[in-house]
Amino acid sequence: MKIFTVLAKLDTMEITQISTGEFLEITIQSEDMEISDGFHTMHELYQHRMALNIALFNAWNQSILWGTAEDDKDINVMKSKLHHDGTMFEDYFIVMAVTPEGQISYHYKLKHWDKFRIPEVERTPEWDGHGSLDVLERLMKL
């Protein structure tokens, strides 16, 4: 059983409930809300993910983990304010690693741009279609 706690101001909360067969989907919208699994809030988990990615991408850029470009495990990292097709979400940028296993990418708010000390490119390479599960598999294979 999974339990999630939602803390939101009642006067700013809007709840939408959708039942589809054996599952119940509840959407809660609020200006001031925290979702927790009882140990960490979603905000804390995203902050941890960003900190780990900053450390990893910066280390990859410095070749701390993989050696020289002649190494068969070469990983190229970059950041850009544009996807390959010139689009981008408002106030966001993308970081991407091109690895022997495929692309790994994440989007972050522009205020975090300088934390990623990696090369800037005008546009990222064309997206290879990866999703969240693909990224997890690729990371585990490195």
Domain ranges of the chain: 5-36, 42-141
SS (H, E, C) the chain: CCCCEEEECHHHCEEEEEEECCEEEEEEECCCEEEECCCCEHHHHHHHHHHHHHHHHHHHHCCCCCCCCCCCCCCEEEEECCCCCCCCCCCEEEEEEEECCEEEEEEEEHHHHHHCCCCECCCCCCCCCCCHHHHHHHHHHC
At 8-54, the pLDDT tens digits run: 666 666 767 667 777 777 777 666 677 777 788 888 999 999 999 99
pLDDT at 94 over 60: yes
**What is the reported pTM?**
0.76
Q: What's the pLDDT score for residue 64?
A: 56
pLDDT bin (cut points 50, 70, 90) of residue 71 is low
Q: What's the pLDDT score for residue 39?
A: 84
CATH classification (class only), 42-141: alpha beta
